[in-house]
């Protein structure tokens, strides 16, 4: 494998080629590898009920919710009507490309490092609380990429 100068833009262009199987004008030298244009457009297909069920089952329990306040336990124990509504909502997002603002917003919480001076900023680390529903959608996308 030949490795030339790689930028975030060139990696994004390579992924676009793989996902959309269309020619993308390259302005930077790409990583030359075994990437081939995808002949089957996996993102054209609607999200299936099985994909959603698998994503919801794989959510980590006991995690703090994001700004939307939705817990993983709630999503992983939906009744059939609620599940259908969530499935319809996920496909609406897929079809329109409009992602809820709550999925793009995180709550950043500083956590003090033990046995360090609490008056010093560098003695804190942060955690970002993001939407659990957004994480479920991410799991579906990642699974399709793999």
Residue 129 DSSP SS3: strand
Q: How far is CA 125 from CA 66, 87, 106, 116, 130, in A?
A: 18, 36, 15, 11, 16
pLDDT one-digit tens code per residue, 92-107: 999 999 999 999 999 9
pTM greater than 0.75: no
Report how far residue 146's alpha carbon sits from residue 140's, in angstroms, rounded to the nearest whole number. 10
The H-or-E segment that residue 109 falls in is strand 107-112
pLDDT tens-digit map of 28-62 = 334 444 445 554 566 679 999 999 999 999 999 99
- What pLDDT, on the 0 to 100 scale, is given for residue 44? 78
More confident residue, 133 or 20: 133
| CA–CA separation, 32 and 47 (whole Å) | 32
Q: What's the rounded Cα separation, in Å, for the pair 20 and 137?
A: 19
- Smallest CA-to-CA distance from 123 within 111, 108, 137 is with 111
CA Rg value for the chain: 20
């Amino acid at each position: 494998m030949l490795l030339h100068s790689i930028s975030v833009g060139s990696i994004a262009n390579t992924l676009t080629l793989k996902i959309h199987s269309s020619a993308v004008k390259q302005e930077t030298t790409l990583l030359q590898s075994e990437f081939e244009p995808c002949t089957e457009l996996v993102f054209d297909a609607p999200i299936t009920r099985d994909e959603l069920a698998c994503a919801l089952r794989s959510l980590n329990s006991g995690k703090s919710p994001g700004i939307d306040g939705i817990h993983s336990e709630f999503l992983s124990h939906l009744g059939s009507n609620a599940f259908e509504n969530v499935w319809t909502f996920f496909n609406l997002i897929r079809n329109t490309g409009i992602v809820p603002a709550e999925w793009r917003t995180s709550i950043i919480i500083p956590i003090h490092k033990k046995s360090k001076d609490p008056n010093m900023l560098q003695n804190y680390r942060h955690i970002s609380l993001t939407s659990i529903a957004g994480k479920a959608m991410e799991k579906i996308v990642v699974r399709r990429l793999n």
